[in-house]
Amino acid sequence: MDTGGNSLPSGTDGVKRKVCYFYDPEVGNYYYGQGHPMKPHRIRMTHALLAHYGLLQNMQVLKPFPARERDLCRFHADDYVSFLRSITPETQQDQLRQLKRFNVGEDCPVFDGLFSFCQTYAGGSVGGAVKLNHGLCDIAINWAGGLHHAKKCEASGFCYVNDIVLAILELLKQHERVLYVDIDIHHGDGVEEAFYTTDRVMTVSFHKFGDYFPGTGDIRDIGYSKGKFYSLNVPLDDGIDDESYHYLFKPIIGKVMEVFRPGAVVLQCGADSLSGDRLGCFNLSIKGHAECVKFMRSFNVPLLLLGGGGYTIRNVARCWCYETGVALGVEVDDKMPQHEYYEYFGPDYTLHVAPSNMENKNSRQLLEEIRNKLLEYLSKLQHAPSVQFQERPPDSELPEADEDQEDGDERWDPDSDMDVDDERKSLPNRVKREAVEPEQKDREGLKGMAEQARGFDMIADDSISTKVGLKHARSDMK
């Protein structure tokens, strides 16, 4: 059913929400390689903070069931998924042509357990969408997800599988309209591309724009055909602070919620927009970043919270721990409890860190121009689109397990008609564990820019009414 945008049973914003939290204990074992800024270990650090702050007892903690090949192929090309499943560090030298074709190698390296990693983080995001669709929680959280750069046929920007697109496709089975909001410092290009020609998904991305990866996300990029005005981009400059960010975020998102009336919202909470991120250049505090979560929560619409970027990992863990508290309606203490990663957080051992004194290059005049332009775009959408449901796939069942449950068969809903994938094995022991070490300087060798966003085939999915094979001209491609 379509919720119409305001029907959670939990009541007003001050009331507690029912929260489902997805976590696989193995996720922190995956390792992109020496010197690579993406460190899945940050998810384990976040989980440790949640445990020691006592937040886990306030949520339903679920181990995601790994996404299967056929699940991934709802968006991604079959041959690309096949490649991800088969490639290993030992065999990659024999597949150089394929590596180049699928953009795997430098920013997106081959590492031990790569496909299992993709299955795990995608499984959490789709599992969260399924829980929301069944009305079993108000907010679902998967901090391992949010990998927004992955394209239909290629990896990009440390992302291999676009769990966000897969989760949105799941939500579209139950909701006529889904809103995607992205507060990562990088443009959410993979998600925007996937839904660029439909009015059933609105994408809103707040990001650094200029000489910065991935180079897309101009304010003039607003969608195409039926999707015109359903993609919004908020291009920002270095040093933006909390006040300037919310000067844009709150009126724009407020108007989006009023006009688009989504049945569900997906919020990508990339923490590389925080002050002091090793790859970022914004100046948001943790509370300023979390204010976006608090604002989205206030609309009382089913909400999926996902991770994303974030490369100063002690601050990523701080941020996502605090935002879990926001989701729960719990204020967590600034003084950090003792836990296994306590040494990462010295010398202050506090949850919050002060922003820097870097210059804010976003003038009030620039912010006003951006705000006025985007509100003008939104004024062209008189009301929520009238979308008839197409014939759609049957609802997904609920394969996720409680974290402590050991019997794999009992993970499944007893009424489920989905088959257990017996070929799935647990993460092999040869996967490297990342040592507890200080963060290294950025690798100069990492690519700064990926190939500009290309044309794409519209998703072949029954829940999307339009299928387009189109090369759309993007105004930011010079």
By the 8 A CB rule, do 324 and 50 touch? yes
The response to whether 78 counts as a known ligand-binding position is no
By the 8 A CB rule, do 320 and 283 touch? no
Strands 469-470 and 139-142: unpaired
By the 8 A CB rule, do 319 and 272 touch? no
Q: List C-alpha distances in Å: 285 to 4, 272, 409.
A: 33, 11, 43
Nearest to 324 by CA among 82, 68, 43, 71: 43
Residues 6+ apart with CB under 8 A from 37: 158, 278, 279, 311, 442, 443, 446
Question: 36, 41, 76, 149: which one is catalytic?
Answer: 149
Helices (runs of H) and strands (runs of E) counted in the chain:
11, 11
Q: List C-alpha distances in Å: 64 to 131, 328, 333.
A: 11, 20, 29
Q: Tokens 């920002």 map to which residue?
A: 236
The CA distance from 43 to 429, in Å, is: 19
Q: List 266's β-bridge partners, or say none.
A: 180, 304
Residues 6+ apart with CB under 8 A from 94: none
**CB atoms inside a 10 Å sphere around CB 32:** 20
Tokens of 39: 């460190």
Give me the pLDDT at residue 15, please: 72
Is 134 annotated in the active site? no
Give me the pLDDT at residue 16, please: 77
The CA distance from 21 to 425, in Å, is: 23
The CA distance from 50 to 22, in Å, is: 12
By the 8 A CB rule, do 69 and 77 touch? no
By the 8 A CB rule, do 157 and 214 touch? yes
The one-letter code for the residue type at 30 is Y
Element (H, E) at 85: helix 78-86
The response to whether 339 counts as a known ligand-binding position is no
Length of the chain in terms of residues written? 478
Give me the pLDDT at residue 398, please: 60
Tokens of 156: 């990009």
Nearest to 142 by CA among 238, 236, 223, 60: 60
Residues 6+ apart with CB under 8 A from 363: none
The CA distance from 314 to 456, in Å, is: 37
The CATH code belonging to domain 19-380 is 3.40.800.20
Domain ranges of the chain: 19-380
Tokens of 441: 């300087």
Give me the pLDDT at residue 136, please: 97
Give me the pLDDT at residue 427, please: 40
Element (H, E) at 63: strand 60-63
The response to whether 349 counts as a known ligand-binding position is no
The response to whether 184 counts as a known ligand-binding position is yes
Residues 6+ apart with CB under 8 A from 376: none
Burial of 56 (0-12, 13-18, 19+ CB in 10 A): middle
By the 8 A CB rule, do 171 and 264 touch? yes
- Using a cut of 0.85, tell me whether the model's pTM lies above it: no
The response to whether 457 counts as a known ligand-binding position is no
Nearest to 448 by CA among 199, 187, 213, 222: 213
Give me the pLDDT at residue 386, please: 55
Tens digit of pLDDT per residue, the chain (478 long)? 333 333 344 445 667 789 999 999 999 999 999 999 999 999 999 999 999 999 999 999 999 999 999 999 999 999 999 999 999 999 999 999 999 999 999 999 999 999 999 999 999 999 999 999 999 999 999 999 999 999 999 999 999 999 999 999 999 999 999 999 999 999 999 999 999 999 999 999 999 999 999 999 999 999 999 999 999 999 999 999 999 999 999 999 999 999 999 999 999 999 999 999 999 999 999 999 999 999 999 999 999 999 999 999 999 999 999 999 999 999 999 999 999 999 999 999 999 999 999 999 999 999 999 999 999 999 998 666 555 545 455 556 565 555 544 433 333 333 333 333 333 333 443 344 333 334 443 433 333 333 333 333 333 343 333 333 333 333 333 3
